[in-house]
Amino acid sequence: VTVDGNVDMDVYGNGVTVTGDNSTVTLKKGGSITVPTGTKYGDYALAAYDGTINMNVEATANAVKIDGDIFALKGATVNLGLATNDSYLNGIIDNGGTANLTLKNGATWTNLANNTRYGQDNEDYGNGEQSKVTLLTGGDSLAQAGTIIQTANSKPLEIVKLSGAVHVKYYHDASDPTSILGGYVEIAKATQGSNICLITNGGFDTANEEL
């Protein structure tokens, strides 16, 4: 299935799902996808159980607004491009297969789960309800980077490979400014020249490291 234009989805359940062998859904541009929050069930904005979901994979100037978690089962793939300053993902990337994300030009990703799962959700084997990105592609420079936001309730984030520049924003305890809140970000490998800039909600840089 290929959608040439923007999508506008407000769904009770999953937004886009692939479950068939070699099935592919491609959303060529952007738009918005919203699914329920605060539930004890795996409602996902993008859910790949078997097959591939592509959304704005060319990372062109299409606004992509996703309110909901992303899920990929082993053997399945999600490719997502957030490439404008009004593009965002509010949710985790629970990835047991392949999940590739482009995050640049001021786009934001708030790494915070929208829902929890109950025990009978035994088909949803991802990364233990924690985010894992197979390939994170940032901007060409820090000026063109996107931002990952780790809130006080964000769990750790695993990045298998980083290419390009990205900001990671943490919050700190207002009563104890030296106490940084939110789970760690672990990068297994980075291409030469990649950059990560760590900041807090106080606005000051804590580290700016070229990898």
Percent of the chain with pLDDT over 90: 75
CA dist 149 and 121 (Å) reads 28
Indicate whether 195 pLDDT > 70. yes
CA dist 21 and 167 (Å) reads 36
Q: What is the mean pLDDT of residues 134-140?
A: 98
CA dist 167 and 60 (Å) reads 20
Work out the pLDDT band at 175, boundaries 50, 70, 90.
confident
Contact 166, 146 (CB under 8 A): yes
Neighbouring residues of 119: CB distance < 8 A, sequence distance ≥ 6: none
The single residue listed with the structure tokens 């482009």 is 102
Work out the pLDDT band at 203, boundaries 50, 70, 90.
very low
What's the pLDDT score for residue 6?
96
Indicate whether 68 pLDDT > 80. yes
Indicate whether 174 pLDDT > 80. no
What's the pLDDT score for residue 208?
54
What's the pLDDT score for residue 204?
46
